[in-house]
Amino acid sequence: MQVWRALEDVPRELGPTVVTIGNFDGVHLGHRAVLTRMVADARERGLKAAAITFDPHPRAVHDPAHPPELITGIEDRLARLGETGLDGVLLVDYTLAFAQQTPEDFVRTWLVEGLGARTVVVGRDTKFGRGNAGDVVTMRELGERLGFEVHVIDDAGDTDARGRRWSSTWVRELLDGGKVREAAEVLGCEHRLRGTVVHGDKLGRTIGFPTANIDVDAGMIPRHGVYAGWLTVLDGGGNARAAALVGERMPAAISLGINYTVGGDSLRVEAFVIDGAGLDLYDARVALDLVDWRRPMLDFGSVEALTEALAEDVAWCREALGIPARA
């Protein structure tokens, strides 16, 4: 899948397209169902399939004091969009100036002239253009004048077996409750955090549980607590030892929250790589894929009690991840 960060990046030879528009936060199963159907329809008609999405999120621009907490960072959003078979995504730099376009200006410039839209796929509650003045009726009127069809998707038709509509709101509810297994069922994949390994206070090393301290910059932080998950090195960040591990998926016991036992007062994200003695991951960019939640963050009263609890956590994580105990 191609990613275009400006209209000038869209290749002239792209040809006519089927286009949809959205934020696609999380790219959950509802998004994937719509996009997969759209791609299949485009293939049958000999058209390309493309999506327009926005970064930053429009709400973060219009109300910067209350930006939304996004489920996924932009890298994972684009990767998951690519899994649906789209030919390309136009990633729009959302600004106040961009938001001042009239509905017709937006459609003409970005959809028709920019992407060669022959069909536009939208949800029933779609709003676009200055002041969200455009809606489905507007899109259909513009389609008649500018030469494209409009397909309206009934989002309520995309539900799980229990009848609940797939939604980013549902995913956030599950993550807030630490229900990462259930969230994975809605997302179609494990919930992922991304960040850079930084230096910590090195307490873990002194008690036999050296951890990678991660400065998370992408992905929604779920309920605080201890999780079983996987750590993957994405980029060595100049660290040759970490670079040798790029792409390797390593089992980990992951702590998200405040370490009350040692007087912590701020959020820490730490990962103990199981059977990973001697790892050097400093400066590496890594991903954490969360599999299951074990317990909340607790004050164990002493470092000795904390050490015992960590040993139990690691044993539980081994079982959760299917990692056999060491002989």
Domain 191-321, second-level architecture = Beta Barrel (2.40)
Closest-CA residue to 30 (of 159, 133, 176, 140):
159
Distances (CA, A) of 183 to 24, 77, 128, 232, 317: 16, 16, 29, 20, 18
Q: What is the mean pLDDT of the chain?
A: 93
Q: From CA 35, how far away is CA 84, in angstroms rounded?
A: 6
Q: How many helices (H) and strands (E) does the chain have?
A: 11, 12
Express each pLDDT in 219-266 by its tens digit: 999 999 999 999 999 999 999 999 999 999 999 999 999 988 877 778
What residue ranges do the domains of the chain occupy?
Answer: 2-157, 191-321
What's the pLDDT at 166?
85
CATH of domain 2-157: 3.40.50.620
More confident residue, 270 or 277: 270
- Sheet of 48-55: strand order equals 2-4, 88-93, 48-55, 17-21, 117-123, 149-153
pTM above 0.85, yes or no: yes
What's the pLDDT at 202?
67
**φ and ψ of 128, to 5 deg:** -155, 160
* The two domains 2-157 and 191-321 share their CATH topology (first three levels equal): no
What's the pLDDT at 160?
59
More confident residue, 187 or 201: 187
Express each pLDDT in 121-170 by its tens digit: 998 889 999 999 999 999 999 999 999 999 998 754 455 556 678 899 99
Residue 112 has pLDDT above 50, yes or no: yes
Express each pLDDT in 43-71 by its tens digit: 999 999 999 999 999 999 999 999 999 99
